[in-house]
């Protein structure tokens, strides 16, 4: 098991036993997160709904279907991104309906999200909706006032000791219930697609350059310093 996957598994078992807020009493399953432990893209949303609570997997309902389509537009498959939420348990009303997260729940649960970010080390974080944007943006030095002011913009900063780009967009459910958000969210995912393209081109370029460097060195049979001889091409 690679280290990052191992750390995530350990953290997930911690969340399974969590009683930091009262949502443990009504949850069927925690919804920890899904995706590769070394994903370039991390999607951070709000909280599980009914379907997610039943299955223990993020975005399996109607909003999930839309998210999959939007991700497809960027050229990335859902399974290539790491998807998680601000809250790991479904927030419910006394009638067991979905409700928005409360500040004490966010405070109790976000240390788990911070650790997920530290482990996965994504280069790009896409926040869905106001709860994740208003949590992540201040962490990299930007203030959050409204979704209208930040959606589709590219914010660069340092998060938990790592350079990161953050692009906030609306929650897919907003586009499902109100068609006025549909165009905006689609346009935002085009911005996300272009950012991913830049990210992957940069890493391919770095890889290509170093491959070429090694070929040249092999041909010339150059005597390289030990530190360079033992270095592996950047992948
Ligand atoms: N909405 C969210 O914010 N997260 C999910 O996992 C599903 C729906």
How does residue 2 score in pLDDT terms, banded at 50, 70 and 90?
A: confident
Reported as a single tens digit per residue, the pLDDT across 79-136 is 999 999 999 999 999 999 999 999 999 999 999 999 999 999 999 999 999 999 999 9
Positive or negative, the CA dihedral 144, 166, 99, 8 is: negative
Task: Determine if ligand 1 sits within 6 Å of the CB of residue 63.
Answer: yes
The answer to whether the CB of 172 is under 6 A from ligand 1 is: no
Ligand 1 in reach of 47 Cβ (< 6 A): yes
**82-99 residues labelled b (16+ CB within 10 A) or e (exposed):** bbbbbbbbbbbeeeeeee
Whether residue 227 has pLDDT greater than 90: no
Nearest partner of 60 among 172, 158, 151, judged by Cα:
172
Res 204: pLDDT = 60
Angle at the Cα of 144 from the Cα atoms of 52 and 103, rounded to 5 degrees? 50
pTM of the entire structure? 0.87
Cβ–ligand 1 contact at 45 (below 6 Å): yes
Q: pLDDT band at residue 201, thresholds of 50, 70 and 90? A: confident
Which structural domains are found in the chain, ordered by start? 3-229 (3.40.470.10)
Q: Is the CB of 52 under 6 A from ligand 1?
A: yes
Q: Which residue's alpha carbon is at the smallest distance from atom 7 of ligand 1?
A: 59
Q: State the closest ligand 1 atom to the C-alpha of 83, by its place in the atom list counted from 1.
A: 6
């Amino acid at each position: 098991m690679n280290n990052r996957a191992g750390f995530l598994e350990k953290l997930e078992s911690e969340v399974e036993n969590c009683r930091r807020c009262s949502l443990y009493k009504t949850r069927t399953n925690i919804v920890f997160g899904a995706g590769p432990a070394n994903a370039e893209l991390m999607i951070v949303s709000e909280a599980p709904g009914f379907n997610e609570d039943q299955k223990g997997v993020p975005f399996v309902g109607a909003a999930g279907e839309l998210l999959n389509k939007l991700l497809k537009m960027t050229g990335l498959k859902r399974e290539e991104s790491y998807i998680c939420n601000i809250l790991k348990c479904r927030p419910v009303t006394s009638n067991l309906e979905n409700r928005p997260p409360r500040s004490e729940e966010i405070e109790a649960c976000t240390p788990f999200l911070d650790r997920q970010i530290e482990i996965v080390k994504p280069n790009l974080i896409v926040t869905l909706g106001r709860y994740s944007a208003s949590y992540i943006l201040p962490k990299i030095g930007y203030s959050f006032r409204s979704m209208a002011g930040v959606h589709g913009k590219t914010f660069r900063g340092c998060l938990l000791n790592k350079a990161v780009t953050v692009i906030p967009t609306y929650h897919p459910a907003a586009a499902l219930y109100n068609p006025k958000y549909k165009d905006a969210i689609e346009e935002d995912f085009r911005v996300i697609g272009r950012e991913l393209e830049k990210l992957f081109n940069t890493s391919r370029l770095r890889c290509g350059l170093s491959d070429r460097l090694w070929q040249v060195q092999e041909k010339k049979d150059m005597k390289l310093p030990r530190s360079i001889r033992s270095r592996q091409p950047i992948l």
